[in-house]
Amino acid sequence: MTSLKGKVALVAGGTRGAGRGIAMELGAAGATVYVTGRTTRNQMSEYGRKETIEETAELVSELGGNGIAVQVDHLIPDQVQSLIERIEKEQGRLDILVNDIWGSENLMEWDIPVWEHSLEKGMRMLRLAIDTHIITSHYALPLLIKNKGGLVAEITDGTEEYNQNRYRLSLFYDLAKSSVIRMAKALAHELEPYDCTAVAVSPGWMRSEIMLEVFGVKEENWKDAAIKEPHFVISETPRYIGRAISAIAKDPDKKRLNGGSYSSGQLAKMYNFHDLDGSQPDAFRYLVEVQEAGKPADVEGYR
């Protein structure tokens, strides 16, 4: 299926995790995908992970798209401006912007109050999670709005409905993830006159490279992690949120979603797509109705 053939996407923060899954699915639909991040085969970022933007770009191309890796630090405006100028010169358009930049797991101090949390780490987290998205939108959107039907996807953790009444692990993390949701609402207002759409999208419990390592498993035997954490049975691959973004991008009536906040599970029901194993995990409904309700792990009816 090549319904995004001829479309140009920028996945900002596509080195690993959700960004990689999204880039791959956009590629599988035939798009040209610019994959940005700081870690290349020749240089590792402060994040200290082995995954590279070149690997992601190659996966995009293997699936039928055109993957193009560009090293960019999205906190440096000149680098982002140069990236957009390159995209305009090489492609003449930008149809899809995915703001997935995060890179802050190493900065998190879980369930620590603000007066005990490292201020330096917390402020760095906010810069990586919020400033990067704003800088990227500032330079990318003048190109995106040149054509009708453009899409901006702000990737976060949690839906607006889920986050609004819950403390999300620390003040800094809470602010970072909620700000991205609000950013999508503001962008939706600003993009509406140009017939473009902005949404906030969250994966569920995603089996990223880091998460698999935390549980000491690989994708092939991920269910073994349920011994350590039974509720891990609701988890999903990064390709699942990728299919969510791809489905929205293909939708000629996507404007009805403008300004909304959605999970991969909600969008799977809306667009009838499935994860790689053929299931449709609905993590946030599961979290509320099973895990937070103190019930034993059971995904019956949730995937």
Q: What is the DSSP string of 5-54?
A: TT-EEEEET-SSHHHHHHHHHHHHTT-EEEEEES--SS---TT-----HH
- DSSP assignment letter at 69: E
Q: What is the pLDDT of residue 45?
A: 86
Q: What is the pLDDT of residue 175?
A: 96
Q: Is 213 exposed, middle or buried (0-12, 13-18, 19+ CB in 10 A)?
A: exposed
Q: What is the pLDDT of residue 251?
A: 97
Q: What is the pLDDT of residue 2?
A: 59
Q: What tokens appear for 115 in the block?
A: 């007066």
How far apart CA 274 and CA 111 sit, in angstroms, is 33
User: Does 218 reside within a domain?
Assistant: no
Name the residue range of residue 140's domain. Answer: 8-207+238-291
CATH number at residue 135: 3.40.50.720
Q: What is the pLDDT of residue 105?
A: 86
Percentage of residues of the chain with pLDDT beyond 70: 99
Residues 2 and 65 sit within 8 Å (Cβ to Cβ): no
Whether the per-residue pLDDT at 112 is higher than 90: the answer is yes
Q: What is the mean pLDDT of residues 169-173?
A: 95
How far apart CA 248 and CA 107 sit, in angstroms, is 32
Number of neighbours of residue 145 by Cβ within 10 angstroms: 16
Number of independent structural domains in the chain: 1
Whether the per-residue pLDDT at 185 is higher than 60: the answer is yes
Helix (H, G, I), strand (E, B) or coil at 100: coil
Phi, psi of 98 (to 5 degrees): -110, 110
Whether the per-residue pLDDT at 1 is higher than 80: the answer is no
Task: Please give the model's pTM, rounded to 2 decimal places.
Answer: 0.97
Residues 260 and 230 sit within 8 Å (Cβ to Cβ): no
User: Does 156 reside within a domain?
Assistant: yes
Helix (H, G, I), strand (E, B) or coil at 109: coil
How far apart CA 42 and CA 48 sit, in angstroms, is 13
Q: What is the pLDDT of residue 269?
A: 97
User: Does 280 reside within a domain?
Assistant: yes
How far apart CA 171 and CA 188 sit, in angstroms, is 26
For residue range 68-88, what is the model confidence (pLDDT) as tens digits?
999 999 999 999 999 999 999
User: Does 2 reside within a domain?
Assistant: no
Strand 8-12, strand 151-155: pairing: unpaired
Whether the per-residue pLDDT at 145 is higher than 80: the answer is yes
Residues 190 and 137 sit within 8 Å (Cβ to Cβ): no
Order of strands across the sheet that contains 8-12: 66-71, 32-37, 8-12, 96-99, 151-155, 197-202, 261-263
3-state helix, strand, coil in the chain (%, to 5): 50, 10, 40
Measure Cα distances from 242 to 104, 111, 153, 158 in Å: 21, 30, 11, 16
How far apart CA 8 and CA 27 sit, in angstroms, is 10
- Mean residue pLDDT of the chain comes to 96
Nearest to 285 by CA among 211, 234, 238: 234
User: Does 129 reside within a domain?
Assistant: yes
Q: Is 15 exposed, middle or buried (0-12, 13-18, 19+ CB in 10 A)?
A: buried
Whether the per-residue pLDDT at 116 is higher than 80: the answer is yes
Whether the per-residue pLDDT at 48 is higher than 90: the answer is no
User: Does 116 reside within a domain?
Assistant: yes
Q: What is the mean pLDDT of residues 204-224?
A: 96
How far apart CA 288 and CA 124 sit, in angstroms, is 31
Phi, psi of 67 (to 5 degrees): -90, 130
User: Does 128 reside within a domain?
Assistant: yes
Nearest to 19 by CA among 56, 50, 48: 56
Name the band, by pLDDT with cuts 50, 70 and 90, for residue 142. very high
Percentage of residues of the chain with pLDDT beyond 90: 95
User: Does 171 reside within a domain?
Assistant: yes
